[in-house]
Structure 1
Amino acid sequence: MSDVLKRLAAEGVSIWLDDLSRERLTGGGLSRLVASERVVGVTTNPTIFRNAIAGAAGAYDEQLRELADRGVDPDEAVRMLTTADVREAADVLRPVHENTGGRDGRISIEVDPRLAHHTAATIAEARHLWWLVDRPNLMVKIPATIAGLPAISAVIGGGVSVNVTLIFSLDRYRAVLDAYLSGLESARRSGADLSAIESVGSFFVSRVDTEVDRRLRARGPAAAALAGRAGMANARLAYQIYEEFFTGPRWDSLAADGARPQRPLWTSTSTKDPAYPDTCYVDGLVAPGTVNTIPEATLEAVAHHGAVGGDQVRGRYAEARADLDALTTHGIDYDEVVQLLEEQGVAKFEESWADLLDVVAKRLADLRAPVAS
């Protein structure tokens, strides 16, 4: 492990890889990253799976051929392909899971993004994925849509570990944390072991800057001077909310029964604007008890030249609030921005899922054995 990555670990930051593919598994790439302690977890999403299967179809041919012979439809084939990868990754990460008492060594898989606005279907899908992967270090990803909030509570209440994704808004983050605590309270009533439930809240960072910066630069030099500040300001204020939720009587009661805090997970932390340092969203969001999920290119950049200078979040809340408040003076509506980003996030994952289904459907058709006459 590089000295930079060691410093991050010492500051209480867990690094999870934001990528997975059959090639990474069979070629030993993930095993090497885990063995070297460069990463202690993995996240996936529909775009990652689309890229993996479309970009390296040969790695999936044997399983695809078996699925074609069985006559399964593309939806079922996608579920089988992705859960097979996640199950194997969970096994690679199992030693980390055991050595950290379940805190890390986690692998996430997302519910079908087409269900983002359907509570009952999301609950059913999450429970099915938990059963299908059948690994204790799984996390099921549920989007933080309005329909997703009661699903989070219900799934946590059933003892399933959850990665809440597509969080952009501070108000929505409060609702996510409340849903998590409600889920833990439900799990406790049913007699579940609260210490076995782990959760993270995936708060998106660079996408906020991409949208806000575009609007700032359209408003002239004075506004453009604020570019590159909204994403980290938003994340720092989310951490302040995290600190508020995991103190006080409600949390103390759950913690006494073994519950764990839902850790903030910074995602969308690869730099989208080449004008910004390629490690800025890792260096600038160091805080204890956080996770930063990054693609391998960003991981290598952080290991090589990351600038870890201690806690970069606590003590900067007033600065962060001032940065977000300044947006209003330039006519930028924060609520409109975060709502747009949520809608775009759901739509992008739906598009990736549709592309993935199309790729798999074509491969199944190519491999399906002709029916004997």
Structure 2
Amino acid sequence: MSDSTTPSPTRALSEQGVSIWLDDLSRERLRTGNLAELVASRDVVGVTTNPTIFAAAVSKGDAYDEQLAALAAAGTPAEEAVWTIVTDDVRAAADVLRPVFDATDGVDGRVSIEVDPRLARDTDATVALAQQLWKTVDRPNVMIKIPATVEGLPAITRTLAEGISVNVTLIFSLERYAAVIDAFFAGVEGAKAAGLDLSKLGSVASFFLSRVDTAVDKALTAVGSPEALEARGTAALANARLAYELFQERFASDRWQALADAGAHVQRPLWASTGTKNPDYSDTMYVTELVAADEVNTMPEKTLDAVADHGVVTGDTIAGTFESSREHLRAIESFGVSMAEVTAKLESDGVDSFVTSWEELLDTITAGLERQAGSGS
């Protein structure tokens, strides 16, 4: 049991250099002051969103009814209404987090908004929408989420080169993460060449966790040998730890140092998909087993509550793990499970999942507009 001199688990994470971001946003959370409360009491210093989050938010309660009524009265098309609602929420959250942004010189206090996932394979359309969202939200602490697809990589570079902060999402493999870092370097170099203030430019690289274990565990279970079964639950942490090793190596380069000298901030690795899907696993494992400086952990509220309640933060849990992480992945490969195939499918499925959620959000808004128009509000 902790005494008054022992920091809370969330405070301990912050002291270790882990930035806690909330993987959720809703109008209700903003109106009740819950987001501000989490900033004050749970050390939350950022927010991430995606179509799934907004689809859930709009489908619950009546927080959006007034705005839906106004949009319906104006004859606003459903897709335009989606962006009006989403950008309003992100702008309001950015205002809540602005003091954090100012206090950390732009490192934290960030709120992410995702481009239309249907554009994940269209570089030019992704860049155009990123520019539009940046102007519409009109807050320096917003980040535009762009998926790390092959087509997304040049979009990341072009968007950063224009001075627009980027959260790179849906990263599953070490190979793709290396390409994301290259895209980041090129983008910041472009911004530097354009004479932009690099200290205002922010970026994170969102590396997904629980989805990796779910997919690899399924394959290992199918193998069925005692050794294969014993390897379950090791893939995501090993993958993430080796991503952190890559982060350390690439941001120790002369290429990066030239950008840092010009005022640029590192692109921090962000651990995403941190809610444990297997009930046999610790509900804090994707947090407490990945503690190191210069990283972000974005948590759904259930995971944040679990960490605050019983998370054990003992210090850096990544240093010294790189060789054992390689051994874990080699063992998985030895059972005939290809990490390259698993991560490629996860990326494809992730894009499809976000498209489905986007369509659900569009359907929810369409139904809401029709309901409000029918009520004569």
Please name the residue that 1:3 is paired with.
Answer: 8
Please name the residue that 2:370 is paired with.
Answer: 365
1:85-119: CA deviation from partner (whole Å, max 9, x where unpaired)? 00000000011111111111110000000000000
Please name the residue that 1:246 is paired with.
Answer: 251
AA of the residue aligned to 1:290? E
Answer yes or no: is the 8 Å Cα contact 1:2–1:303 preserved in 2. no
1:258 pairs, out of 263, 279, 284, with 263
The Cα of 1:55 is off from its aligned counterpart by 1.6
CA distance in 2, matches of 1:370, 1:2: 52
1:20 pairs, out of 7, 20, 25, with 25
Please name the residue that 1:146 is paired with.
Answer: 150
Instruction: Name the SS of the counterpart of 1:40 in structure 2.
Output: strand
CA distance in 1, matches of 2:26, 2:7: 24
1:182 pairs, out of 183, 186, 199, with 186
The Cα of 1:2 is off from its aligned counterpart by 5.7
1:182-201 to 2 correspondences below 5 Å: 182-201=186-205
Kindly indicate whether residue 237 of structure 2 is the aligned counterpart of residue 236 of structure 1: no
CA distance in 2, matches of 1:365, 1:263: 43
Aligned residues: CA RMSD: 1.2
Please name the residue that 2:358 is paired with.
Answer: 353
Please name the residue that 1:79 is paired with.
Answer: 83
Identity of aligned residues (%): 55
CA distance in 1, matches of 2:108, 2:41: 15
Kindly indicate whether residue 307 of structure 2 is the aligned counterpart of residue 302 of structure 1: yes
Answer yes or no: is the 8 Å Cα contact 2:274–2:299 preserved in 1. yes
The Cα of 1:37 is off from its aligned counterpart by 4.8
The Cα of 1:38 is off from its aligned counterpart by 2.4
1:298-351: CA deviation from partner (whole Å, max 9, x where unpaired)? 111101111112111121100111111111110101110000000110011000
Kindly indicate whether residue 64 of structure 2 is the aligned counterpart of residue 64 of structure 1: no
CA distance in 2, matches of 1:329, 1:299: 35
Instruction: Name the SS of the counterpart of 1:260 in structure 2.
Output: coil
Q: Which runs of 5+ in 1 are unaligned?
A: none
Please name the residue that 1:163 is paired with.
Answer: 167
CA distance in 2, matches of 1:37, 1:259: 28
AA of the residue aligned to 2:220? L
2:97 pairs, out of 93, 100, 103, with 93
Kindly indicate whether residue 327 of structure 2 is the aligned counterpart of residue 322 of structure 1: yes
Answer yes or no: is the 8 Å Cα contact 1:64–1:363 preserved in 2. yes
CA distance in 1, matches of 2:34, 2:257: 41
- How many positions carry a matched residue from both structures? 370
CA distance in 2, matches of 1:370, 1:96: 42
Kindly indicate whether residue 284 of structure 2 is the aligned counterpart of residue 279 of structure 1: yes
TM, length-normalised to structure 1:
0.97
CA distance in 2, matches of 1:114, 1:206: 23
The Cα of 1:275 is off from its aligned counterpart by 0.1
Please name the residue that 1:339 is paired with.
Answer: 344
CA distance in 1, matches of 2:148, 2:210: 18
CA distance in 1, matches of 2:374, 2:279: 48
AA of the residue aligned to 1:321? R
AA of the residue aligned to 1:27? T
CA distance in 2, matches of 1:164, 1:176: 8
AA of the residue aligned to 1:215? A
Instruction: Name the SS of the counterpart of 1:250 in structure 2.
Output: helix
CA distance in 2, matches of 1:154, 1:325: 36
AA of the residue aligned to 1:258? G
CA distance in 2, matches of 1:72, 1:3: 47
